[in-house]
Each structure stands twice: as C-alpha cells, then as structure tokens.
Structure 1
Amino acid sequence: MNSFTYTAAPDANTAAALLTADKHAQLIAGGTNLLDLMKENVAQPAALIDINNIDGLDGITTLDNGGLRLGALAHNADTAYHPLVEQKYPLLAKAILSGASAQLRNMATNGGNMMQRTRCYYFYDTSTPCNKREPGTGCSAIGGYNRIHAILGASDSCIATFPSDMCNALAALDATINVTGPEGDRVIAFTDFHRLPGDEPQLDNILKHGELITSIDLPKNGFEKNYAYLKLRDRTSYAFALVAIATGLELQDGLIKNARIACGGLAHKPWRKPEAEDYLIDKVPIKENFEAAADIILNGAMGYKDNAFKIELAKRAIVRNCLTAANLNN
C-alpha cells in the first residue's frame, strides 16, 4: 500500500475543493471497496478525503412530490431496513439485502455502492494486463477465464461487469442522482450515470473529478404491489451475480400498464432496454410476452469461451422474474 495523506472534510464544498485540487485524491466513506483496491495496489491515491463527518448526507427523507431522498452517506443496511423503503420501495430493499454480507452492508454507503469498481479477476491482479486498471495494456479476460463477464455492451477493450445489486433496483426505479462540485450542483438520471466501456474502460461513470454524490432521489412510484428481484450466482452467500434481474410492474384490468426491467451481471452497467418495457405495455402478463421482451433486452448479446451460457440463463431469469412480479410464477 502506498503512502497517502488523510483529511476529514467538514462539508461538501470543502470535500469538492480538496478533490479538485489533487487529481490523485479520492473520497472515502465506508471504504468497503476502496480499501480492498488499495491493499491490492490497484488504487494508489495520494490523498484520502474522509466525507463521513459531513452533516445532512446520511438522512432518508420524503420529497414534496411523494418520492424519497436517500442520503449518499446512509448505510446500505439502514436504507434497506428503513420503514419507508420497505413500504414504498421493497424492490430496492430486497436488492440491497441480496448484496455482499451483513457486515459490509452495515459499513457500505449508498454513494459508495454506486461508485464501486468491477470485481473482474484480472482487474484485481496487477500482474496481468487490464485496460481498466492500466489503459492500453489489453484485456486479459477476453482470452482468459471469463465466466462472470459481460455479454452485453462490452467492447474489445473490456468485458467486465458492474457488480452492484442496489444499482439494478435504482435503475429499474428510474432514480436520479444529485451531485455537487466546483461547477455547482447538477442532477443525473440514474440510467445515464454509469458508462459502457467503449475505448475508455477506465471511466466507470460520468462524474467529473471534483464532484461528489450527495443524494439519490426515488420517484413516487415504487412498484410496491408487483415487483421481484432475482439473483443467480455460483453460491447463495456473499457472491456476485452471474445474472440479476430487477422487475417492477403496474397491472390494471389484467394488462401491463408500466414495466421496468433492469439486469445485472450482464454489462458494464445495470442494463435496461426501454424498447422491451414499451413492448409490454397493454400486453397480458404471460410467459410468451415476457419471452418476447427478454429477446429484445438480450438482442446483440455475445458470449465468450466460458460465459456463453449466460445468454440463455438471462432469458430464463427475466421471464421467471417478470412472472414472479406479476404474481403468476406458481
């Protein structure tokens, strides 16, 4: 681990200023991902800026429009077990509780969850080439062992996947992200926040250096009546998803009036296809229609040596989870 300076920021503006002043500085809150990266010499920040003492970023409050604001420093466990989240956004609660372990959820923050890096084997192994870790060196996963890797949105530069369960639910819920920085405040649609790798896989999201997440806003509609979260993994505890599906449906008079499907474990970001969701509108919630939607979601999917099975697995998972959300998976 390299040497670094440490500063506890008293407020968001100070944190943004300190971050802006040093391109090698990083923010730290729960540290559940960053400390692992530092121990493996994947991340070597020259300065750590602790944001845990900033007032007002750890709350969960209702919004005037009927939605809910999640503080960036609210812990994952506190978010999942919050009465309003359990009542109005059970999809989010279930997704959070599907991730990591109880100990990590007690430490991890909402903002940090969104900022975590990939769990690709080669990204963590500094003896191997990795374009995400060292741009221009190559992608070891493409010709290596790639069972957990992407089948959608990948590029010749990177086939890593984004590991968050919480973010799959936030994508399905159409959350928005509030950030602040040297250029002021801005709001980012959740589905725009994370990037596909393209030829710059080292860039995980569209945050500018110097910006920090302050909160996440959930809209009024939480799909509390018809929702489901499915996580398929190699073991049932403390493992990242091979395929994860977050589904929210609105049903009226036996027809689908609104649908959201976000997939994890398949791409560099939570994967949504609005065309598939639009296809389901005014359709009967039956297996055949969900199969057609799954085909739209997975259009263009490409497997590699070890992960081609994920294409069929993802299709079956989408159909199963949609049927569960519709209360038809008996």
Structure 2
Amino acid sequence: MHEDGRQNLPPGQQLLRPGRWPPVGEKQPVGPFDTWTLQLRGLFNSPRSFTLEQLLSQSLVEECIDIHCVTRWTRLGVRFSGIPLARFIKPKDVDPRAAFVSFGARSDRNHSSSVPLDVARTALIALYAEGDPLAPKYGGPVRVIVPNRYFYKSVKWLETIELLEEDRLGYWEKDAGYHNRADPWKEERYLVSGVTKQQANQLIASLDFSELDLMGIDASGRDLSGLKALNALLRNANFMKSNLTAANFSGANLANAHFEDATLRDVNFQGADLEGANLVGADLRGADLRGASLFGADFISLEHPEHHAKLDAGTRLSREQIHLLADSQEAFLKTKTTLP
C-alpha cells in the first residue's frame, strides 16, 4: 500500500490529510438537542423510541470507518463510537416483509436516504467521532454511518429509522439525482442525465443555462464563450475541452463537473459549488473563484503531474479556499498563483 493510503481509495477519490473533515450540505439540525428522540418505526415488530440520554446509556462500540464523499474526497480510518444498528434489526425484531431501511433527518428539508436491510445491518448509530461527541456540523448528536457507501447515505441528525417493504428514494437520490446504491468502488455517484441530446443542443445554442437543472448535460468540445449559467444546477456536467471564455457560473452547482482541458479564461465562478470538479489541464487564467467551494477539486493529475491547470496573477482565489484540498492540490496551487 502507498504511504498516502491510495490502495484504500476508491476510483476518483483524493485522500485528505488527518484532521480535515469538510462539512457538506446543511450545517445545523432543527430544534434543541434536549428534546432529541430517535424513533424506530415501520415494519418493526415492536416500534419504539429512544431519547438521546437513553442512546448514550447503551453499550457503545468503536469502529474505524472510511469516509468517501461523493465530491471525491476521502478520510481513512475515522474513529466512530456508537450503537451497531444490527442490535435493533435482528431477524426476531422485524416483520418478514421488511427489505429496506429509510433513515430520516431532523433538518429543514427533512432529508432521508435508504439502503437494503442487509446493508443497514453493517451501519453504526454514531454518537462520537475521534473520541468527542459528534458535532452538529458533522451530523451530531446522532448520525447513522453506513460503511462502504458514499457518505450521503450516512444521514445526519438521525431522527427516524423506518423499515420498509419497498424502497423509497431519499432527498439526494430523488431531488439531486444521486445514485441510489452509492457504491464508491463502482463510482455510483449519479443517475443518467435526464437531458436528451436534442434538448442539450437547443440549450447550448441559447448560451443560457441560468437557473436550470441540467445535471449530467454533455456540453463537451463546444464553443460556449459567454455562456450564462447563473445559479444553474450542473452536477456532473461535461465541459471537457470546451471554450468557456468569459462564461458566468456565479452561484452554480458544479459538483463533480468535468472541465478537463477546457478554456476557462476570465470565467466567473464566484460562490459556485466546485466540489469534486475536475479542472486538470483547464486554462484558468483570469478566472474568478472567490467564494467557490473547492473540496475535492482536482487541478493537477497525480499520475501525470505535467498535466495541470494554467493559472496566473489574475486567477482569484484565497488561501482559505485551498487549505481543505488534498495536500498535492494545495501545494500545486500555492506555486501557481498569488494567494491573499
């Protein structure tokens, strides 16, 4: 195994140094912690609920679990302490019809996610991380941790565990287009784009993607100079080798987008979500990345370090933005641009 842990990395992932854990998505649960209750409902033979105090009084176990975020960063061997979910879903405790488990969060959007019952039996109801109570920004006080799945399956602020006969898509799968199986070793990040080739051609001709949901659109190899894409939802979009000179992606969601070898001179990325985006070989001279989220983004190829993004004194981004990147990406950016 490489000293940097690459043998344990699923394809397309970057290893974050110990201590880094970028909070992703919503940052706080709804309501005070002193009224926290975890409900077991659905096809349990005896539905019940637990207060936070009752959960903390249980016999806890510690497990080292790897975190694989869908936006292409990984933390290896994070120490979580909590209650094995298998303790609550033994065969004697569940209706024989139960085949899936849905995890519900106490959040503004009431997000949820589901996994098959056999996968749920490997999960941990986490109450501590690295020896400390699980912080709210990381999903505390109660979070389910589902090993060997992208981390959006590990629902924050866990409030309900529901046994189901048929699967139910959660927020990330139904509304954001994330893959329901979420196997990082198979790179099951997204569903297939719902944008047809004809629709894509019409939109590309208009040079205006603003406010549209175009997840997975293939706009590779096109002349898109001057494109307007303000606040567009462009997760997993393909802009490889496209000319995007002076495009405006302000506020856009470009998580896991592909910009390899694209011309991005003078592009406005202010406030954009570029988590997991691939910018290797892209021309970023004069681009404005101020306020953009860059967790998991690639600027240089580790396998072919001569293949990297082009930056200059006009490329605008800050030291704080790149500090949470993988070490190799941070080191590269420090040598190629002046950071305030």
Alignment TM-score > 0.5, same fold: no
TM-score normalized with structure 2 length: 0.25
More helix, by proportion: 1
Which one has the largest radius of gyration?
A: 2
TM-score normalized with structure 1 length: 0.25
- Structure with the greater relative contact order (CA < 8 A, sep ≥ 6): 1 or 2? 1
